[in-house]
Amino acid sequence: MNRLETIKKVLDEKKAEDIEVIDLTDKDYLVDYVVIATTLNSKHGFALLNYLKTELKPLGEEFLRVDDDDEWTICDLGDMFINLMSESARKKYSLEEFLSQLDNKEV
C-alpha cells in the first residue's frame, strides 16, 4: 500500500469525511500532493492527527511541521500537505478551488 492509500485508509477508518487527494505533480506548487479531509469537530481533528502519526511514523514518515487550531490542522510531510478541516473552514477557504487554478510547471 502506498503512502496516499495509507493516509486515505486511516482517515476513512477514523470517520473523516469528503477525503480528497489532489495531485499537483504537474503544477507550480510547494508540494506534489495535497490531502483534504473534513473533521466532525476540533477534537476529531486532533484525534485524526494522532491516528495519522501512530500509523505513519513506524513506516518512516516524518511530520516536518504541524500547525493546528480548532478549525484547521495542516501537516507538512515534505512533499505532501494533509489538511484536516472543519466543514466551515473547508467552505470558507475552498482549497480545492484554489489548487485547481494553479499554473502548470514551466518546462
Domain count, the chain: 1
Asked if 19 and 12 count as a contact pair (C-beta separation under 8 A), the reply is yes
Contact 52, 82 (CB under 8 A): yes
Whose cell is 486532533? That residue is 46
Q: What is the pLDDT of residues 51-89, one digit of tens each?
A: 999 999 999 999 999 999 999 999 999 999 999 999 999
43 part of a folded domain: yes
Q: Which run of H or E residues covers position 36?
A: strand 33-39
Give the separation between CA 7 and CA 55, rounded to whole angstroms.
9
Question: Domain range spanning residue 93?
Answer: 3-99
- SS3 call for 100: helix
In a domain, 105, yes or no: no
Q: Tell me, what CATH number does 62's domain have?
A: 3.30.460.10
Does 17 map to a domain?
yes
Tens of pLDDT, residues 35-46:
999 999 999 999
